[in-house]
Amino acid sequence: MAQRLPDWLTIRVPRPDTIKQVEGMMRGKNLHTVCESARCPNLAECWSKKTATFMILGNTCTRSCGFCAIKVGRGEQLDPDEPENVAETTEKLGLKHIVVTSVTRDDLKDQGSDQFNKTIAAIHRRLPDVIVEVLTPDFKADRACITNVCDAHPEIYNHNVETVERLHTIVRPQAKYERSLQVLKMVKEIDPTIYTKSGMMLGLGETQEEVIRVLKDLRKNDVDALTIGQYLRPTMKHLPVVEYIQPKIFKEYEKIGEDLGFAFVASGPFVRSSYNAIAFSEKVMKERLDRMEQPDAAATQA
């Protein structure tokens, strides 16, 4: 029998007119959002603020994770206009921070990395001041694929570990915990100026010790930002929720993450990978401006 949602897990009230406007833009350009496809509980809030996470490479994933509501099957044909359509829609929405994610495309030779490269480049050409965050699959830890994405210089590279190592065979049967860590480490090796980010879900049966170990493992691999949220079962076909974590526990993990040295930690029941991404974006923007000013300051001192 399904567990009853606790009081703190309430859905925010949407603003229908704005949501319809964003939806119209997406459908007009044949674009997908992970907000819809993954049945994100924050869709109403984010869309009412004209923010969304674009999902490229189609709407069908070649992997079947136990927590995810995205359709599984044979990958769709790539849309050559998709990169420019994402950039154009980003401009129309007036975004300062754009998140680009995708389904996993194990069926493609480059696993979809070239489409990421083209999309990032299209956004930067049209909107050079926008912070671009990518949330990628693991690309099977193929260095050539990860380099392809990094070569387009996204400001933030996000790849989620999703859960603790012990639960990977249940939650992500076609992925590996160590491989995800390897991806994040590789990004820093390829381009140390790119900020790295990862996220995980709670409530799948993990222990506190296991969660803390994940946080430590991420920091050992120089991950800059962390998101932690509550797993919510999208349908009865997906993994059941083992436990609804209380908000105070999320706050404790947030404090632990900050103490471990993460530059940014968002931890709460409704937190998702790209939820309120603008908060970390502001930190990135400030540091980018600081770096630009440093040469002038040095010249003045000289």
Scan for tokens 């404090």, then name that residue: 255
pLDDT at 51 over 70: no
**Is the backbone of residue 216 left (phi > 0), alpha (psi -120 to 50) or beta?**
alpha
Tell me, rounded to whole angstroms, the distance of Cα 206 from its chain centroid.
21
Give the pLDDT confidence score for residue 22 in this predicted structure: 61
- Using CA atoms, how far apart are residues 182 and 51, in angstroms rounded to an integer? 30
Give the pLDDT confidence score for residue 142 in this predicted structure: 97
| Mean pLDDT score of the chain | 83
Phi, psi angle pair for 110, to nearest 5°: -95, 10
Between the alpha carbon of residue 191 and those of residues 52, 121, 184, 264, 295, the distances in Å are 26, 16, 11, 19, 20
Token pair for 277? 């991404």
pLDDT at 285 over 80: no
pTM: 0.85
State the helix-helix crossing angle for 113-126 and 143-150, rounded to 10 degrees: 10
Give the pLDDT confidence score for residue 297 in this predicted structure: 45
Evaluate whether 89 touches 81 at the Cβ level (below 8 Å): no
Token pair for 126? 């049209």
Scan for tokens 């570990």, then name that residue: 161
Domains in the chain: boundaries: 16-288
- pLDDT, average across residues 108-116: 96
Give the pLDDT confidence score for residue 64 in this predicted structure: 74
Between the alpha carbon of residue 168 and those of residues 41, 157, 161, 165, 179, the distances in Å are 23, 22, 9, 5, 11
pLDDT category at 75 given cuts 50, 70, 90 is confident
**CATH architecture of the domain covering 16-288:** Alpha-Beta Barrel (3.20)
pLDDT at 38 over 50: no
Token pair for 107? 């069926």
